[in-house]
């Protein structure tokens, strides 16, 4: 069984305030991840390398990406989320997720 944790309270608030359709997609994917594990593959999740993954949530309101990593004991840490406006993931969004990944890996050693 897997459990979800948030990098901080701000990340939790950002995810909780997603538009209803996008949040419903995230909730469905989260349920699949709890049951089947954190890397359920496309179209729901995608690896970015170095232990960083993304949840690919979408709804009528748009597309959201939620970066996450996994830790021992079935922990999935949600690091950063953003609503996509372009086809590619913006470099600054990816950089923020990678920075938080490094911080989490260091803190959970």
CA 2 to chain centre: 14
Q: What is the mean pLDDT of the chain?
A: 93
The pLDDT value given to residue 109 = 58
According to CATH, the topology of domain 3-107 is YaeB-like fold (3.30.2310)
In the sheet that holds 45-49, the strands lie side by side as 3-6, 75-84, 62-71, 52-59, 45-49
What's the distance, Cα to Cα, between the start and end of the chain in Å?
A: 21
pLDDT digits (tens, 9 = 90+) for 35-57: 999 989 999 999 999 999 999 99
Residue-range domain boundaries for the chain: 3-107
The pLDDT value given to residue 108 = 64
For the full predicted model, state whether its pTM sits above 0.85. Answer: yes
Q: How far apart are CA 77 and CA 91, in angstroms?
A: 21
């Amino acid at each position: 069984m897997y459990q979800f944790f948030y990098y901080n309270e701000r990340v939790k608030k950002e995810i909780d305030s997603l538009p209803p359709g996008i949040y419903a997609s995230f909730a469905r994917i989260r349920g699949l991840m709890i049951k089947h594990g954190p890397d359920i593959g496309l179209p729901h999740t995608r690896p970015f390398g170095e232990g960083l993954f993304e949840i690919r949530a979408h709804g009528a309101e748009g597309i959201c990406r939620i970066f996450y990593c996994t830790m021992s004991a079935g922990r999935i840490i949600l690091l950063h989320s953003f609503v996509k406006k372009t086809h590619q993931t913006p470099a600054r969004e990816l950089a923020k997720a990678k920075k938080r990944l490094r911080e989490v890996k260091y803190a959970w050693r």
